[in-house]
Structure 1
């Protein structure tokens, strides 16, 4: 294989390894547990995982999705997260090549992945991810120059401020909380990484996908509009879509209007 192919394989392996660590974050952060100790173990029987039982995706397939010790089922979320992280790593490598931009945007996407899964499971977005994510977005603008620092700063302020205004107006009109503080900080983080110009399209995509998904959940659950749908995963998905296809979608939309 040539050098580019070897680097692409490394990007996949790197994504698999980081995906395994993301599973630890997804499980432990909402519970307030250390992400360092104790070592990985079965959530059912507490048996520590051997090194060869902790190989991303492969171990899950060999064990047929069950713990070696107690034979209880292992959530398919583990290989899904590992595979998705590997796919994101490869896609970002193809887009940016072996550059600092690839590394930093991979960390951005990995953070969005963790935020999405935690929000789905617990209906929270940890400040320990979103607030440092805003600062990292500002630093990335300085290091990469993909957007100006001012654009990054305005994106953070506009992202957080716009959802804060929406939440304030909704609560005034209905007397109910409609937008969590975590979503506000998440959009501030996305704005810091992708600039204020990305926000209209990100919010539009998130709203459309969220509305369709929410309608499906409402019909399936039978709880009517009392069903609470986390918005964080849709904001995260929209941010990744914008990262890869934002300019293309914008040109298509402008061409459609003209």
Structure 2
């Protein structure tokens, strides 16, 4: 290999390292992320629980949605679509900021996270809706197009929160992930599988314990919140690695952006 060839070799994304980094960030401030995850996760689950009471299993989202649809189509849209989207958009935005503060060794700043997320909420909701719809449609086409789009748009939320990319976040994510899309997909998929196994085991234990249904709903909401927290940290870690590879920007530089 010549010296010219050597200079063209791309730095590795490092799937294993990024997985370890994701759980390391979660572990460093577990109770901070737990608090950020618990509130929206439990709120969404409790809304579905109370709407779904009276017929079937109120903890089954399909039952809750069906009951709500019978009562009122508008209620169903709120329960199934609007409330979760707003709640999880807020939580994801705050998680991204908290992850960078954690990696940069800075203190927790809940008010700053909430304020920054509120200012970017319209972009967060719309971009999340577009990306989710696009990936869902792509996944119907033999799965591969959906996975590819997941790789293309994986870091759109950090782009909104850290760079203030707004409605240009999908384009910015595409730019950053170019050349690394399949490693990013592999990272997200493996992380999701690990999280799914853990949450499944916890949910199974909760389901078999002799505890009230309302408490089970709270536990499930907490599990959903923690799952979203870990995935939010994962995309934050991926974004930081891509910025480091392509632009030489470190965590401390990224964290200063939202002061």
Pick the structure with more helix per residue.
2
After TM superposition, the score normalised by the length of structure 1 is 0.29
